[in-house]
Amino acid sequence: MDNTTIALPKTADEELADKIADSLGAAKLISTEKLPRVRDGLRKGNLTSADWKLLVELSEPTKSGGTAE
């Protein structure tokens, strides 16, 4: 038997989640560190409004000019 792993095609939900996450990252609305969590949450459909608020707030620049972490 061959132990080669075959990648399954992405579902429509996964494709859409990837497009949304990529767009959020490109627009710098969500930090690159948070993108995997956002992508996973979008795929599973389990992000709450509180999750979105926190993710965006943590990605916003601080008043001193740096970025919040």
Q: Residue 24 burial (CB < 10 Å; 0-12/13-18/19+)?
A: buried
* Domain boundaries defined on the chain: 12-59
State the pLDDT at residue 31: 83
Residue 16 has φ and ψ, to the nearest 5°, of: -65, -45
Pair 47, 41: CB distance under 8 Å: yes
Q: Which residues of the chain carry a pLDDT beneath 70? A: 1-2, 61-69
Q: Report the pLDDT value the prediction gives residue 22, as an integer from 0 to 100.
A: 93
In this prediction the pTM is 0.67
Q: What is the pLDDT of residue 4?
A: 78
pLDDT at 23: 94
In the chain, what is the greatest distance between 2 CA atoms, to the nearest angstrom? 59
CA distance 40 to 33: 13
